[in-house]
């Protein structure tokens, strides 16, 4: 039996001198205020263990990691039809890039770049008022994490609404191509609130368990998606979960994962565990610098890479 706690403690000790590396996202004013010298790591295994180290109980803004949960909800609503609205290919572009959208007539490359996630918010919004769609997501994430303490940080949502000019541009652009059914303000209301979900590493690791365990949460017995759907969401995370850093993440870590500009990364070792890493400093492409390093160490020390040990 591997001593996971000892592995986590070792990674934490090695990274302590590096705390503060990277650059905190400053284009969302509320995120710019976060202390960069924080680091947390948590693992929830399919056989029911939870291990943690560092600031694993400190809530942070999960930002784009929410795109995995929204994709899961949207697939539940419209099934494979979703793929008429958004593609499944890596973009090779920045998360907020607009150029590809024009070439591809308003159909975003994948559900994890901003444009794709905004199209998905539009799908989840169908038949709801924005407030209800946000409530649906919050209930879903609480159910996944089996923790009602998960909240949405209204200050972060407001901060982004006031400064999210690029997201308004992306949404308006898609609306002009007929790829949004609802008013831009409503769709972005949902999008900004999903990004403002506030969770800690333990909650996030537990929320990702269904992706590690063939679609069901083994801790609660809750069935979330079919094994096939869990496998496919993992495939999308592996190929598209880190934007134009996805290839590099696969090369160094070798696990399906999704990052957010709050400095979080949720990663999945299929059949074994769900992992959440958090450190606010970002690398050049907007992914957590130390979060990725921690996951690289973890994958090397556990042999959990999907590409072999
Ligand atoms: O839309 C934005 O810019 C942010 N709410 C989310 C971006 C994000 O997390 C991209 N991540 N690396």
pLDDT, tens digit (0-9, with 9 covering 90-100), for 122-153: 999 999 999 999 999 999 999 999 999 999 99
Could you tell me which residue, 205 or 92, shows the higher pLDDT? 205
Going by alpha carbons, the residue nearest to atom 1 of ligand 1 is 114
CATH no., domain 4-58+200-302: 3.40.710.10
Task: Give 220: exposed, middle or buried? Use CB within 10 Å, 0-12, 13-18, 19+.
Answer: middle
Atom in ligand 1 nearest the alpha carbon of residue 286? 12
pLDDT at 57 over 90: yes
| Mean pLDDT, residues 172-194 | 98
Domain spanning 64-195: CATH 3.30.70.2740 = no
Does the beta carbon of 96 lie inside 6 Å of ligand 1?
yes
* The pLDDT of residue 275: 99
pTM here is: 0.98
Reported for 18-21, long-range contacts at CB under 8 A and 24+ positions apart, including other chains, are 18/290, 18/293, 19/279, 19/290, 20/281, 21/279, 21/281, 21/289, 21/290
pLDDT digits (tens, 9 = 90+) for 75-125: 999 999 999 999 999 998 888 989 999 999 999 999 999 999 999 999 999
Question: Which sequence positions are flagged as catalytic?
Answer: 64, 67, 191, 243, 261
Instruction: Give span(s): CATH 3.40.710.10, the chain.
Output: 4-58+200-302, 64-195
Q: How many CB atoms lie within 10 A of CB 14?
A: 12
Does the beta carbon of 95 lie inside 6 Å of ligand 1?
yes
């Amino acid at each position: 039996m591997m001593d996971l706690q000892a592995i986590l403690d070792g990674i934490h000790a090695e990274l302590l001198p590096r705390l503060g590396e990277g650059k905190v996202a400053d284009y969302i004013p509320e995120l710019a205020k976060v202390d960069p010298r924080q680091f947390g790591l948590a693992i929830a295994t399919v056989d029911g263990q939870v291990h943690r180290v560092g600031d694993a109980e400190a809530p942070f803004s999960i930002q784009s990691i929410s795109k995995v949960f929204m994709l899961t909800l949207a697939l539940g609503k419209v099934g494979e039809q979703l793929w008429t609205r958004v593609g499944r290919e890596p973009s090779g572009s920045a998360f907020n890039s607009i150029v590809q959208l024009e070439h591809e007539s308003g159909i975003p490359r994948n559900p994890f770049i901003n444009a794709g996630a905004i199209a998905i918010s539009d799908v989840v919004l169908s038949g709801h008022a924005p407030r209800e769609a946000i409530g649906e997501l919050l209930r879903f994430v609480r159910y996944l994490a089996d923790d009602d303490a998960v909240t949405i940080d209204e200050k972060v949502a407001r901060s982004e609404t006031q400064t999210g000019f690029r997201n308004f541009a992306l949404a308006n652009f898609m609306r002009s191509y007929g790829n949004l059914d609802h008013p831009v303000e409503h769709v972005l209301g949902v999008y900004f609130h999903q990004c403002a979900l506030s969770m800690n590493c333990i909650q996030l690791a537990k929320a990702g368990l269904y992706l590690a365990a063939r679609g069901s949460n083994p801790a609660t017995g809750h069935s979330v998606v079919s094994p096939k759907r869990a496998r496919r969401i993992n495939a999308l995370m592996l190929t598209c979960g880190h934007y134009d850093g996805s290839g590099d993440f696969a090369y160094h870590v070798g696990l399906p994962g999704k990052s957010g500009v709050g400095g979080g990364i949720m990663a999945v070792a299929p059949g074994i565990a769900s992992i959440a890493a958090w450190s606010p400093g970002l690398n050049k492409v907007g992914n957590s610098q130390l979060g990725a390093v921690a996951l690289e160490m973890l994958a090397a020390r556990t042999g959990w890479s999907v590409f072999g040990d």
